[in-house]
Chains A and B, each alone.
Chain A
Amino acid sequence: MSYAASPALVRLPIWRARVVLFVFVGAFAVLLGRSVWLQAVKTGFLQERGEARYSRVLEVPATRGRIVDRRGDALAISTPVKSIWAIPEDVKATSAQLRQLAQLLGAEPRELERRLADTARDFVYLKRQIAPETADRVAQLGIPGLYQQREFRRYYPGGETMAHVVGFTGVDDAGQEGIELAFQASLAGVPGSRRVIKDRLGHVVEDIEAIRAAQDGKDLRLALDGKIQSLAFAALKQAVDAHKARGGALVALDTRTGEVLALANVPTYNPNNRARLSGAQLRNRVITDLFEPGSTLKPFTVALAIELGKVTPQTVIQTAPGRLTIANHTIHDAHPGGAMSVAQVIQKSSNVGAAKIALSLPREEMRELFRRVGFGAPPQLGFPGEAAGKVREAKTWRPIEQATMAYGHGISVSLIQLARAYTALARDGELLPLSLLKTDMPVAGRRVLSAETVRAMRAMLEAATQPGGTALRARVMGWRVAGKTGTAHKLENGGYAAHKYVASFVGFAPASDPRLVIAVMIDEPSAGQYYGGAVAAPVFAQVMQGALRLMEVPHDAPLAPLELPGEGDEAKEST
């Protein structure tokens, strides 16, 4: 019997089938609609969310560029360190663990507890910049809520010797002083990021895209010579200590390339440990301090007079009786002389002689020369805080001011300006542009004086270091040197302090073919001696001797021990 023929079969109403069909069709329509919605309209969003499950954006760290000296020895290097931070609310540690943690971090357990008790904050640094090994041991403690962050710390192997040139960076790796600040833009790297696919275990399995390539900072090679620099620093420090001075500064310039080979300051600081720094320690005296240069300026006055044909080195000038009164002001010579030649004015550093020569010069010409050799304008090293110095407008000069300016009073310059001005005397009249970075390329200077004038001036400056001159102690065994001493009263409260001096010496060697200009300044020597020839010149000689040897400069004088003058034998400069 067939099923259809079964008597039990009940005929169902047709609408029931229709309802079922309708529901099915409706359900399919909904599914279809939904899938079109997901596939066509929301597909981008969904793909993004899907990718987010396995793809990650990784930060690619960039390292800060290294700073090396001209020999390639490291002066500043960044190495990775770890910083430990915590979410106080999540930290669950036993007191034993806390004690261990405090010991590892070198902190007081009480201090640590106090920081972790502050549950209102959700980010607390426990210790910044610790060695990676210590950080690993902290991680081994397994305290929840404790995290590590990779950072870079800058190390300065040169320490206090190089501090003022190199400078330092802050805790966030941005330059704060010196080269680190001046070349921040090229030293700093730009961290990049990239998108990767990570597997279940956190391994990177595929690179999707580099969102931004990381750019490491550029390495910087300074003009500085580490050996000359440490020689200079040691000699300067010794002199500052011996003469109980407030400070001192020294700069050495290469006369062929204009490179700054050494730049030292005392007092200094250790850039690796900068707790309790004072302004005096931080100050880069060579570049930011202005002082009245004193007699070291005389060569420029006299050179101008020769250039303008007012005098020749043989012209005789009457300096007796060692005093010159101009409008109620009197200029003195420390050692009154009689009639002396212009060459002797430089050699014995006579104020009266220099003043008389200056008064024969037009004041506009004098100011123009000072401006031409770089006074009154920043030396454009690109260094932070370069001082410009002050040279007043010529039309405001009174005769007494013109006379005192001849021997470096009433004008303020920085030591590096002074050293740079002397490159013109060392280079047959060409003033060099300076560079803190290694260039190794001979540069062309700007002519400020004629070669004949400068050669004559060099002979006079060499005589200043010979018997009868003020700078016997500047002599160096094996090379001829030329230079000028300076001793200036310090300016204080708008007047000259009676017993406070700045002793200086600027010179170059070998005199036959100058290679190196060194300028030394000692601030307030107060152990009895204060003349530039006694205080600053020996530092010059010490550094020059070592530097010429290191630079392998051929000798131009016999290697014979020098006879050093006894007390009082040497001529004293007047200012």
Chain B
Amino acid sequence: MAKLNLLLLLVLLACAFGLVTSQHQGRKAFAALESEVARARELDVEYGQLQLEASTWGLHARVARIASEVLGLRAPDPRRVRIVAPDETGAAP
């Protein structure tokens, strides 16, 4: 009888430790998840800001101004433009 009691006590102890550890691990995993979720939000915010920046830098008016003023680009004279139709294979000749 006493042996059985001792055995049950050991089993009980093992279960109790198991419970505590798994709870601890659960919390640790949860904290990791939390911080990743927060990071995801931060990255999303940053993505938005970068998109904003890209749109601002890539404004058509700005690109056109830099192309003509800084780089000196202009549309070619129409007399020097030749239109080529794509051939059957789709590759430009």
Q: Are B78 and A230 in contact (CB under 8 A)?
A: no
Q: Are A560 and B60 in contact (CB under 8 A)?
A: no
For window 42-57 of B, CB contacts with A under 8 Å fall at 44-45, 48-49, 51-52, 54-56
For window 52-87 of A, CB contacts with B under 8 Å fall at 63, 66, 73-75, 77-80
Q: Are B30 and A74 in contact (CB under 8 A)?
A: no
- Counting CB contacts under 8 A, is A50 at the interface? no
Chain B residue with Cβ nearest A555: B83
For window 146-171 of A, CB contacts with B under 8 Å fall at 155, 157-159, 161
- Counting CB contacts under 8 A, is A478 at the interface? yes
5 contacts between A and B (CB under 8 A): A73-B55, A77-B51, A158-B55, A159-B59, A230-B59
Supposing A205-B27, A205-B30, A205-B31 touch, asked if A478 and B60 sit within 8 A by C-beta, the answer is: no
Residues of A within 8 A of B59 (CB): 157-159, 161, 230
- Counting CB contacts under 8 A, is B61 at the interface? yes
Q: Are A561 and B79 in contact (CB under 8 A)?
A: yes
Q: Are B30 and A206 in contact (CB under 8 A)?
A: yes
Q: Are A230 and B60 in contact (CB under 8 A)?
A: yes
Q: Are A559 and B34 in contact (CB under 8 A)?
A: no
Q: Which of B26, B34, B54 contacts A74 (CB 8 A)?
A: B54
Residues of B within 8 A of A77 (CB): 48-49, 51-52
Q: Are A157 and B52 in contact (CB under 8 A)?
A: yes
- Counting CB contacts under 8 A, is A533 at the interface? no
- Counting CB contacts under 8 A, is A227 at the interface? yes
Q: Are A73 and B78 in contact (CB under 8 A)?
A: no
Supposing A66-B48, A79-B45, A478-B78 touch, asked if A559 and B83 sit within 8 A by C-beta, the answer is: yes
Q: Are A561 and B78 in contact (CB under 8 A)?
A: yes
Q: Which of A79, A157, A559 contacts B81 (CB 8 A)?
A: A559
Residues of B within 8 A of A329 (CB): none
- Counting CB contacts under 8 A, is B18 at the interface? no
Residues of B within 8 A of A203 (CB): 31
Chain A residue with Cβ nearest B81: A559
Tier of interface size on chain A: 20 to 34
Residues of A within 8 A of B54 (CB): 73-74
Cα separation A454 to B73 with both chains bound (whole Å): 42
- Counting CB contacts under 8 A, is A139 at the interface? no
Q: Which of B27, B52, B55, B61 contacts A79 (CB 8 A)?
A: B52
Residues of A within 8 A of B78 (CB): 477-478, 559-561
- Counting CB contacts under 8 A, is A136 at the interface? no
- Counting CB contacts under 8 A, is A118 at the interface? no
Cα separation A78 to B52 with both chains bound (whole Å): 9
Tier of interface size on chain B: 20 to 34
Chain B residue with Cβ nearest A199: B27
Residues of B within 8 A of A79 (CB): 45, 48-49, 52
- Counting CB contacts under 8 A, is A231 at the interface? yes
Q: Are A78 and B48 in contact (CB under 8 A)?
A: yes
Q: Are A161 and B52 in contact (CB under 8 A)?
A: no
Residues of A within 8 A of B58 (CB): 73
Residues of A within 8 A of B44 (CB): 63
Residues of B within 8 A of A213 (CB): none
Q: How far is the CB of B43 from chain A (nearest CB, A)?
A: 13
Cα separation A41 to B55 with both chains bound (whole Å): 63
Cα separation A63 to B78 with both chains bound (whole Å): 49
- Counting CB contacts under 8 A, is A207 at the interface? yes
Q: Which of A63, A66, A226, A477 contacts B60 (CB 8 A)?
A: A226
- Counting CB contacts under 8 A, is A124 at the interface? no
Q: How far is the CB of A200 from chain B (nearest CB, A)?
A: 14
Q: How far is the CB of A524 from chain B (nearest CB, A)?
A: 26
Q: How far is the CB of A555 from chain B (nearest CB, A)?
A: 6
Residues of B within 8 A of A555 (CB): 83
Q: Are A157 and B79 in contact (CB under 8 A)?
A: no
Q: Which of B30, B45, B52, B83 contacts A155 (CB 8 A)?
A: B52
- Counting CB contacts under 8 A, is A377 at the interface? no
- Counting CB contacts under 8 A, is A204 at the interface? yes
Cα separation A231 to B64 with both chains bound (whole Å): 10
- Counting CB contacts under 8 A, is A234 at the interface? yes
Residues of B within 8 A of A78 (CB): 48
Top 7 nearest A-B pairs by Cβ distance? A157-B55, A230-B60, A74-B55, A74-B51, A157-B56, A559-B78, A77-B48
Residues of A within 8 A of B61 (CB): 161, 230, 234
Cα separation A203 to B34 with both chains bound (whole Å): 10
Chain A residue with Cβ nearest B28: A205
Q: How far is the CB of A427 from chain B (nearest CB, A)?
A: 26
Residues of B within 8 A of A158 (CB): 55, 59
Cα separation A556 to B82 with both chains bound (whole Å): 14
Cα separation A66 to B83 with both chains bound (whole Å): 39
Listed residue (B34, B51, B81) with the most chain A CB atoms within 10 angstroms of its CB: B51
Cα separation A75 to B48 with both chains bound (whole Å): 11
Q: How far is the CB of B8 from chain A (nearest CB, A)?
A: 28
Residues of B within 8 A of A560 (CB): 78-79
Cα separation A480 to B88 with both chains bound (whole Å): 26
What 9 additional pairs, Cβ within 8 angstroms, besides A204-B30, A477-B78, A559-B81? A73-B54, A73-B58, A74-B48, A79-B49, A80-B45, A157-B55, A161-B61, A204-B31, A230-B60
Listed residue (B48, B56, B60) with the most chain A CB atoms within 10 angstroms of its CB: B60
Q: How far is the CB of A63 from chain B (nearest CB, A)?
A: 8
Q: How far is the CB of A268 from chain B (nearest CB, A)?
A: 13
Chain B residue with Cβ nearest A69: B55
Cα separation A155 to B79 with both chains bound (whole Å): 44
Cα separation A159 to B78 with both chains bound (whole Å): 33
Q: How far is the CB of A419 from chain B (nearest CB, A)?
A: 22
Residues of B within 8 A of A66 (CB): 48, 51
For window 187-235 of A, CB contacts with B under 8 Å fall at 203-207, 226-227, 230-231, 234
